[in-house]
Structure 1
Amino acid sequence: MSDLTFVLAGPVRHGVRLHAQALGRRTRGAPLVNIEDGALPPGPVHLHFTDRIFGRDALDAAERLAALVGTRPLSVTLHDLPQPSDGASFERRRQGYARVVAGARGVQVSSEHERGLLEQVWGACGDGAMPPVAVVPLPVDRPTRWGPPAGAQGSTDGAVVVLGFVYPGKGHAETLAAMASLSTGVPLVAVGAPSDGHEDLLTELEDEAAAQGRSFVCTGYVTDEDLERWTARAAIPVSAHTHISASGSINRWISAARRPIVTPGAYVGELHRRAPWAVTVAADLPAAIGAALHDPTSTWIREAEWDGAALPDTGTAAAMQLAAIEAIGLA
């Protein structure tokens, strides 16, 4: 190992930081440094970047990153790639991401879909040849137990559960709309807190649920122990994100031996091709949720179905990350 340093950035509970930390801790010989601790040590650095944890917008984030890194050789993993669904922020986001890429020796993304999004960003805003891009899938660790725990919810009065931060497009509103024809005794539970600036979405979801005659509950931030309980006891796991490019939430369900109901999209299609046993792709979300309520066993992955070669675990993903850094001569 050379003098490569892994840099951690963002709030300690943010998924991007937690992902970077997990991979860094599984890489022997490379120190982990908190960006908040001050100046970085000399030598090459690798960090995980999303504009939302580096600046007030993508261009500001790119400038802050450039100032932080200085002349150090940079390898970067990009998250939350810009796409047209970003609306008014799309242009500034893709300009910002192009600047980050321009300052890097090599880039990593979490899916082939994200590679395609990045190629579009670079084609519109980049200059010259794009640095090498490697795909390192988000890890899915093998479950430590199989099947529902004793006393877990499994009947038609159990909750439909969505994991992760609450924000527009995450899939909470879409899931609630799909539940309109279900028994009003089936609640929707959002396991996670609202993203900053989107607290008003909770009121909208509560009002819509009330109009259906059902309850909506948002747990707020949950500990790992609480999250483990929710993934085990949820009746119906759902991920209906409208513009997903890679998903830690889906992977969390899978690593709990749950087979979530997911809505079609480029990334979901990619995941389904790799591991068709891991998700239920639903073109008709109301019908899929209704079917799962009548057959809760369909939301569980059997141990005999598990294929670790299709879904790299944390150790494998860390090795893939390091190999991509080594390929550009920074480790």
Structure 2
Amino acid sequence: MKHLIVGPDGHGVTEYALGLARATGADVIREEAFTDAPLPDEPIHVTFTDHLFGDTAKTLLERLGPRPFSVSLHDIPQPEEGRERYERRAEIYRELADAAALAVVNSRHEARFFGGAVPSIYLPIPVIDSPFNPEPGTIGVLGFLYPGKGHEDLIAALPERRLRFLGAVSAGHEAWAATLSAEITGWLTDAELAREMGRIAVPACPHRHFSASGSLMTWLGAGRAVLVTDSDYAREIDAWLPGRLTLVGGGGWRDAVDTHEPRRVAPPAYGWAEVAEQWEEQWRFAGLT
């Protein structure tokens, strides 16, 4: 089974797809942008987000044709996006899940979107060698910057604090990012990111609405205790990995930051080997390997 991987290097979903292919030893069909090039006549695995494949399922399903396929679904639609956008995206995701021999999501919270009828496999937590040198008063957020990810919430709650956003601005949001009163590092290499994470006193995941988070897993892989916006997904991860998350309710960021003690904890023993094992079991069960 070959893996169709679409998107630029550095994009979270693309990096997940590449990591899964490496961990399972799969052959890769690699595209920076989605095309209509013919696919080999065999089962195909797709790591999907509409942000990379477009706002329709039709083109992907036409390209896949009658061959069986599996799909890893990311950026699952949520009602908080607004009714029109949610309904448009929900149709795409449900159409793909219905057509696939196997559809998988990254949390039980996401599985509820499909009525719990699809399996979930948590995102891997790769161990990150991040030197622990927290600078007093620093609050840090990882990942690409775009509206609605919670950056504005932190700025509003902590106007006098030193906020550092470790990542690049998503394309098309440069003007918005220029209005943020915080330090934005821009794109970082893995080594630079590990070093900058170690300088942060208060790791934060202020996402307003999220159902799986590579940023959170990255903090955990560096052995850090993290402040996370309270949500069903955050509670799910807190129950799975107790003692690493502090759940922050609405309006609670200032108190949470003020009482946070920077500390290191042992990274969870859950990486690509464990994720690959679960995927291979699911592919066998679905008759794809």
**TM-score above 0.5, yes or no:** yes
Structure 2 counterpart SS, 1:48: strand
In 2, the alpha carbon distance for the partners of 1:153 and 1:136 equals: 32
Structure 2 residue 167 is the aligned partner of structure 1 residue 188: no
Structure 2 counterpart SS, 1:76: strand
Give 5+ residue unaligned stretches, structure 1.
Answer: 121-131, 207-215
Partner of 1:43: 42
> Which structure shows the bigger proportion of residues in helix conformation?
1
Contact map agreement 1:23 1:315 (CA 8 A) in 2:
no
In 2, the alpha carbon distance for the partners of 1:8 and 1:69 equals: 13
Structure 2 residue 227 is the aligned partner of structure 1 residue 242: no
In 2, the alpha carbon distance for the partners of 1:248 and 1:85 equals: 20
Contact map agreement 2:128 2:194 (CA 8 A) in 1:
no
Contact map agreement 2:227 2:245 (CA 8 A) in 1:
yes
Partner of 1:76: 71
Contact map agreement 1:81 1:118 (CA 8 A) in 2:
no
Structure 2 counterpart SS, 1:134: coil
Structure 2 residue 106 is the aligned partner of structure 1 residue 110: yes
Offset, 1:258: 1.0
Partner of 2:271: 313
Aligned ranges 1:281-320 → 2 under 5 Å: 281-283=247-249, 284-292=252-260, 295-297=261-263, 300-301=264-265, 303=266, 307-308=268-269, 312-320=270-278
Among 256, 274, 281, the alignment partner of 1:323 is 281
Contact map agreement 2:220 2:268 (CA 8 A) in 1:
no
Offset, 1:155: 2.3
Offset, 1:267: 0.4
In 1, the alpha carbon distance for the partners of 2:38 and 2:196 equals: 40
Count of matched residue pairs? 283
Structure 2 residue 153 is the aligned partner of structure 1 residue 174: yes
Aligned ranges 1:14-25 → 2 under 5 Å: 14-25=11-22
Tell me the alpha carbon deviations over residues 9-42 of structure 1, each in whole angstroms, 9 at most, x when there is no partner.
11122110101111110113x3122146943221
Aligned ranges 1:1-331 → 2 under 5 Å: 4-28=1-25, 30-35=26-31, 38-55=37-54, 57=55, 59=56, 62-87=57-82, 88-119=84-115, 133-144=118-129, 148=132, 152-156=133-137, 159-180=138-159, 184=160, 186-206=161-181, 216-283=182-249, 284-292=252-260, 295-297=261-263, 300-301=264-265, 303=266, 307-308=268-269, 312-331=270-289
In 1, the alpha carbon distance for the partners of 2:168 and 2:127 equals: 26
Contact map agreement 1:155 1:296 (CA 8 A) in 2:
no
Tell me the alpha carbon deviations over residues 202-227 of structure 1, each in whole angstroms, 9 at most, x when there is no partner.
13323xxxxxxxxx111222111111
Contact map agreement 1:231 1:258 (CA 8 A) in 2:
no
CA distance 1:318–1:175, change in 2 (3 Å):
same
Structure 2 counterpart SS, 1:201: helix
Cα RMSD (Å): 1.8
Identical aligned residues as a percent:
34
Which structure has the greater CA radius of gyration?
1
1:188 partner letter = L
2:277 partner letter = A
Offset, 1:254: 0.6
Offset, 1:143: 4.7
Give 5+ residue unaligned stretches, structure 2.
Answer: none
Structure 2 counterpart SS, 1:117: helix
Tell me the alpha carbon deviations over residues 253-303 of structure 1, each in whole angstroms, 9 at most, x when there is no partner.
0101111111100100000001112212222211011112xx333xx22x3
Offset, 1:307: 4.9
Contact map agreement 2:140 2:166 (CA 8 A) in 1:
yes
Contact map agreement 1:111 1:246 (CA 8 A) in 2:
yes
